[in-house]
Structure 1
Amino acid sequence: MKKKQGSPFPLGATLYNDGCNFAIHSPDKIISLIIFTNDNDSYEYSLNTDDQIIYYLFIPNIKSATKYGYKITNDNGNNRLLLDPYAHKLSKPLEYHYPLDAEQSWTLSKSVVVDHAFDWEDDTPPNHPIEKTILFELHAKGFTQQHPTIAPSYQGNYLGLCQPDIIDFFKQQSITSIQLLPIISFVTEPHLIENNLTNFWGYNSVCFMAPHPNYAKNDAVKELKLMVKELHRHDIEVILDVVFNHTAEGDDNGPCFHLKALDHDYYLRNEHDQCMNYTGCGNTLDLTHQASLTLVLDSLRHWVKEYHIDGFRFDLATTLGRDHENFSAHNAFFMAVAQDPILQKVKLIAEPWDIGPNGYQLGNYPDNWHECNDKFRDITKNYWLQQPNIAKNFATRLMGSRDLFSASRWPQKLPVNFISYHDGFTLQDLVSYNEKHNEANGENNRDGHSDNRSNNHGIEGETNNTAILLLRDQQKRNLMVSLLFSFGIPHLLAVDSLSHSQQGNNNAYCQDTPIGWANWKLSKIDTAFQQWLTDIISIRQQLMPDVIRAFSNENRTKNTITWSDANGIQITSQQWVDIDHFSLHINLFNNHGELLYLINGTNNPLTFILPKDNKWNIVCDTSTQNIIIEDINVSYLQPAHSMSILYRSN
């Protein structure tokens, strides 16, 4: 590279031994580079351009930690400072007051030049096989904010997640992968600030390559790398929830941080030149535009290369595959990821919908993309908490939703099954509330879904009624066993292992409060549930990977599946219409083992006749907190509202 003139590539601020190259995509505005020597003093540089699309300059003697930005002059003559869309770091948390005028832009956080040199030692990706993967979704701040044994200086930040007690907790739970809610730099919307609230979840991205500075003690770049390295050392993957469907610039009346000023075509627009709102957040990034596609791909590679990130969960991923109203699994974004030598190696998880036309695309993503399966969530909650006579649909979800995810494409395309996610009720609240209680969000309880498919079991919210508490606990076990022993990738909400309640709030997006922070003070029944969940996840990891592999190879059709009623008689298609219980017998090819599921969603105990001539081990019975280890061979009395998993090794 001719460093004296600089280079248009790579975009962003690239540090060398003798200086830094700056490059930015800006076909709509002539811009200049501002280098800040301190908070008050700065130097302005004119930039080179070969095509009036990319502007660039090499400046000697620039060091790491140098603050910079780009100046544009508006039509009215006002000078505005822009963040670099490729900024690798922000100088401080980004906060602003609406409207964000040109004068205020100079007081905000600045882009920062970064030296990415870091001693990764012998770090290698854990690279857990997909059939062994268990996802543990958590908030980088909220999970450790109230942890009783973590030093206050580590609570609620990146380094808190790699403290010994937290790592021990992950390992006890047999978790392979933590999935972090957004840690890419984001901003809180003005209407929340006015109500003394915060964008807690972080789905409001600003600079796609910069870690959120609020979760660092001192240096977000270094501390995030330290966190990943330490988790990898303990064989735990780190998956990022990323938001590439929109940015924090909002609709046409929203703030201008960078993209709006630099290139009109970054965002999808309608025939009246207004931002399309397929995301519910005011704008929609247009990945058919080369600059947008390049920004997203460069950002993904950046997280893998510089932070050793193991995979991504894509928020509203349908937007990434859009050409306006059309979605295609063969579009440029998916093809680019599939051929990329860095990105093709990581785990890819799609939230397979957005709110635009043709937005629901569950099952339609390409191979090596695993999709969040809301059908599993809804049907499983319905069966246990609402309508047990939907057993046919529940059975379909247990067997991997093969109506949507063909077993011929396993394991490279397994559904991500879940019961609770960051949005919606926690597991505890699913069995404790009939209605949402979002008053703390300041929207008069209008926000959040009303379709919760929950059941308070007689009393709304907290209670001391022992019978109700025991039934709620049993229903939690039903939901978790259904999840862990279904065909797919189990996704658990981390706070569910603590029986955390959000007090009935099913949309805690703005609750940087105890509502959104993990509660580590467990009652006796909560402690028992945590131990039970630890044990049952461990058992799942011993059994289910082999079963999933057996259905994921050329011999999969040689395995046998039998659906029967309690009397051991195979269920006919007519009986499936309104049956409320069933057994599932899975017999693996070549005597590689058998599983038997006994599922009773009724109000009465049922005696299940077991397959003849077989001696079975009871893996678990959800009617009890105890893990039962005993042999049975003729019949089994399954209590009401419960299920059992039995195993036989041949």
Structure 2
Amino acid sequence: MSDTYTVNLGHPFPLGAQITENGVNFAVASEEASTIFLCLFDDKGNELERLPFIAKRRGIWHMEVFGLTEGQHYGFRAQGPFNPSSQRLFNENKLLIDPYAKALSGKLEWHEDQAAITKDGEQHLVDSAYCVPKSIVRRVSASSIRPKRVHVPHAQRALYELHVKGFSQNLPIDETLKGTYLGVISKPGIKHLKSLGITTIQLMPCFSFATERHLQHLRLSNYWGYNPISFFVPEPSYAQKDAISEFQTMIDGLREAGFEVILDVVYNHTAESEMDQASVCFRGLDNAQYYRHKEGQYLNYTGCGNCLDTYNPSSIRLICDSMRYWITVMGIDGFRFDLGVDLGRTDDDFSAKAPLLQAILQDPVLSEACLVMEPWDIGPNGYQLGQFPRGFLECNDQYRDAIRRFWRGDEGLTSQLATRLMGSRDIFHKGQKSALHSVNYITYHDGYTLHDLVSYHRRHNMANMENNRDGHGDNISQNFGVEGETDNAEILQRRLNQQLCFIATLLLSQGTPHILGGDELSHTQQGNNNAYCQDNDITWLKWEESAPRTALQEAITSLMAIRKAYPILAEIYLEDDPLYQHQPSDQIEWLNEHSQPMTNDDWAQKERDFLSAILTPADLSTHLWLVFYREDHPLSVPLPKNTTQLDVLYKTPGIEVDKTQIHCHYRGVMIAKL
């Protein structure tokens, strides 16, 4: 025991470093360690003291150290068994980040001396303190003047996926704001976001993250951020000075502008990667408890080297504590969960009744958040679309693929198109879930942008330095005759029209729409469909004015306004759906190109290119006619029976209307009020 510092037992909760009346209380979970040391550092990285924890209760080591103050740099070291075959990797030579730290002294960069184990399976004896960021004692509280949460009606929610740096790096703003949290809420940034009519900003990962070893060797960097080292520390590279306060300021600014904000979070794995790589936090504290393993091997259901054991009580507590912190202190309104199936795994398999999912849904704070699941991972039974509890929305890749295939011209899609337009009720079943559970999207960060979807037939990922092997192989894309960029005016017109058809289809579909930030600018990644390591002009949005940008932005703005004005476009109450038995019933009628009711033969026609529907709300206040035509040969369609007037709310360029019919000169989408 040190003669310099006075300690007492302290308290096991809350976990992390908490400033007290006398000093700082430290608490860290580790079931199997024999001793945990608190290591105190000065702000130059010199280790000043190594204090053994003096109390342990229910797997939590704790003590209070008198005289310490805010700003103190610290870390942990753990003694215990070293037996890789049983997943015990305790190594006192490795400095460990506090899993509950709110701030770090720097950004973690991989170094071979961070490993707890050598290539020969022995303890790695080099002290790693020089290459591991130090945890910092911080008192973090919610803003006293934070705007109230924006409560978005479920039927009006529309997500806009935004990368902090990519969105703000090229904005016409002060150089010091580019690529930062504060740049997002600059006047040009807010003006653009408000112009679209979207309700919800979905921030790509903002947990402090690290670049993978293989990228570091290639002199590339992790750009997306799906490689976290901390579930509490905001990414420092997006800040001018203080990431905590600047992140909070960004959230306050977005709320003030009227937006709901959700954060893309990675609770399924950490940047410690494979067992022979970094031991900088969870691995050194309790590898066998924090990570899934079986028969001496990691269960790598994420493809990222490790898989957090979300069936373990320590992990469940960690994740729920992290979520509450980001909501109550940092100010966000919800989460999008990367590889969400891992959160619903028990020992191995998925269960909708998994402890973590149930813990989230019973929590009075977390259950009120907007919760969006990516419903897959790469483990056994890893595809679970539609199987999550009702408190979670789910990213619907079936919608993406069907809509892409329809507009590409694939055969036999009529029934599937109708199903996807109506909220994928084969997946989100009638009587069980609202169609709003389906998060519909055409593009996401992991894939082509909308511009590239209509410009490239094959992926072009050579810049990733993996010989073009990474990324999706089947993108359901088309290039309209030329691969990549072109000056051909006819091809450019067809590509723009296709993008408009995609946007119109998305925003006229039942469910919750998701737009990839930059698609409204016709942003290209030069055919790269896996730009996770491209922190450069490939991914940074460009803000130059152009005819395509104007057309795409105007389409989104107009369709968002229409969607809000007519709630039936997002959620229809049908008579045969027990979920809405307490509601007056709306109506839908499907029509063919003769404006006659669709017959069985019509539905079975493999090469059907035209489909329309009339939506009528229960109060009969209006009749909305939705038209989808995907061929480029002219087609004239009579107005539906008894139509005396047609009020076109939106149409793509290839459609014209007269008193008795509509003329589809080439593929297009229309919504009109009858």
With the length of structure 2 as denominator, give the TM-score of the two structures: 0.91
Q: Which SS does the other structure have where 2:299 is aligned?
A: coil
C-alpha distance in structure 1 between counterparts of 2:278 and 2:546, whole Å: 46
Structure 2 partner of 1:11: 15
Partner of 2:50: 44
Aligned partner of 2:182 in structure 1 is: 159
Aligned AA (2:128): Q
**CA contact under 8 A between 1:429 and 1:502: conserved in structure 2?**
yes
Q: Which residue of 2 aligns with 1:132?
A: 156
Q: Distance in 2 between matches of 1:89 and 1:136?
A: 28
**Structure 1 CA distance for aligned equivalents of residues 378 and 108 of structure 2:** 28
Single out whichever of 151-160 and 637-646 deviates more from structure 2: 637-646
Q: Distance in 2 between matches of 1:62 and 1:610?
A: 78
* Preserved contact between residue 12 and residue 60 of structure 2 (Cα < 8 Å): yes
Other-structure match for 1:96: 110
- Which residue type is aligned with residue 634 of structure 1? T
1:548-559 map, 5 Å: 548=571, 550=573, 553-554=580-581, 558-559=585-586
Residue 599 of structure 2 is matched in structure 1 by 572
Inter-partner Cα distance in structure 2 for 1:180 and 1:539: 25
1:416 aligns with 2:439: yes
The answer for the alignment partner of 1:326 in structure 2 is: 349
Aligned in 2, Cα 1:507/1:34: closer, same or farther, shift over 3 Å? same
Aligned-residue CA RMSD (Å): 2.2
Question: What letter matches 2:646 in structure 1?
Answer: W
CA 1:16/1:647 → structure 2, altered by over 3 Å: closer, same or farther? farther
CA contact (8 A) 1:33 1:46 kept: yes
Number of aligned residue pairs: give it.
642
Q: For 1:352, what is the secondary structure of its paired residue?
A: coil
Q: Relative to structure 2, which stretch is displaced further, 177-186 or 558-567? A: 558-567
Aligned mate of 1:211, from 234, 255, 267: 234
What is the letter of the counterpart of residue 95 of structure 1? Answer: E
Q: Is the Cα contact below 8 Å between 2:573 and 2:585 reproduced in 1?
A: no
Shift of 1:423: 0.4
1:586 partnered with 2:612 = no
Which segment is superposed worse, 68-77 or 158-167? Answer: 68-77
Tell me the residue number matched to 1:107: 131
1:61 to 1:504, Cα distance in 2 relative to 1, 3 A? same
Give 1:621's aligned amino acid.
K
The one-letter code matched in structure 2 to 1:565 is: N
Distance 1:460 1:367, change over 3 A: same
Q: 1:228 to 1:78 in 2, by over 3 A?
A: closer
Partner of 2:401: 378
Q: Deviations over 1:123-165 (max 9, x none)?
A: 2110211211111101111111111x21110110111111111
Structure 2 residue runs of 5 or longer lacking an equivalent are: 1-6, 83-89, 116-125
Partner SS, residue 464 of structure 1? coil
- Say yes or no: does 1:646 pair with 2:672: yes
Match of 1:338 in 2: 361
Query: In 1, Cα distance between the equivalents of 2:37 and 2:449?
Result: 49
Task: Say which of 33, 36, 39 aligns to 1:34.
Answer: 39
From the superposition, tell whether residues 246 and 77 of structure 1 become closer, same or farther in structure 2 (CA, over 3 Å).
closer
Partners in 2 of 1:253 and 1:50 — Cα distance? 29
Partners of 2:591 and 2:601 lie apart in 1 by 13
1:486 aligns with: 509
Which residue of 1 is the match for residue 98 of structure 2?
A: 84
1:468 aligns with 2:468: no
State the AA in 2 paired with 1:38.
D
Pick from 12, 24, 34 the counterpart of residue 20 of structure 1: 24
Displacement, 1:176? 1.0
Residue aligning to 1:560 = 587
Q: Is the 8 A contact 2:409 2:630 kept in 1?
A: no
Q: Which amino acid aligns with 2:27?
A: A
Check the 8 A contact 1:98/1:190 in 2, yes or no.
Answer: no
Q: Is the 8 A contact 2:132 2:280 kept in 1?
A: no
Residue 603 of structure 1 aligns to which amino acid in structure 2?
D
Cα 1:412–1:535, aligned 2, differ >3 Å: closer, same or farther? closer
Q: Secondary structure at the match of 1:143?
A: helix
Give distance in 1, aligned partners of 2:29 and 2:146.
36
Structure-to-structure mapping, 1:462-541, within 5 angstroms? 462-541=485-564
Taking the aligned partners of 1:411 and 1:476, their CA distance within structure 2 comes to 28
Moved over 6 A (4+): none
**Alpha-carbon contact 1:580-1:602 (below 8 Å) kept:** yes
Match of 1:60 in 2: 66
SS in 2 for 1:461: coil
Paired residue for 1:142? Answer: 166
Q: What is the distance in 1 between the residues matched to 2:221 and 2:609?
A: 44
**Paired position in structure 1 for 2:328:** 305
Percent sequence identity over matched residues? 38
2:654–2:666 contact (8 Å) kept in structure 1: no
Q: Which residue of 2 aligns with 1:221?
A: 244
* SS of the residue 1:106 aligns to: helix
Match of 1:617 in 2: 647
3-state SS of 1:32 partner: strand
Tell me what 1:358 maps to.
381
Q: Could you tell which deviates more after superposition, 367-376 or 270-279?
A: 270-279
Question: 395, 407, 427: which one pairs with 1:404?
Answer: 427
* In 1: Cα distance, 2:383 partner to 2:659 partner: 46
Q: 8 Å contact 1:130–1:411 — kept in the other structure?
A: no
Structure 1 residue 411: Cα displacement: 4.3
2:127 partner amino acid: E
Shift of the 573–357 alpha-carbon distance from structure 1 to 2, 3 Å rule, reads farther
Distance 2:364 2:346 in 1: 25
Q: Secondary structure at the match of 1:548?
A: coil
CA contact (8 A) 1:267 1:283 kept: no
**Distance change >3 Å, CA 562–CA 100, structure 1 → 2:** same
Distance 1:495 1:573 in 2: 41
Offset of residue 559 of structure 1: 1.6
1:4 is displaced (CA, Å) by 4.5
Name the amino acid aligned to 2:617.
Answer: L
Tell me, which stretches of 5 or more residues in structure 1 are unaligned? none
Give the counterpart letter for 1:24 in structure 2: V
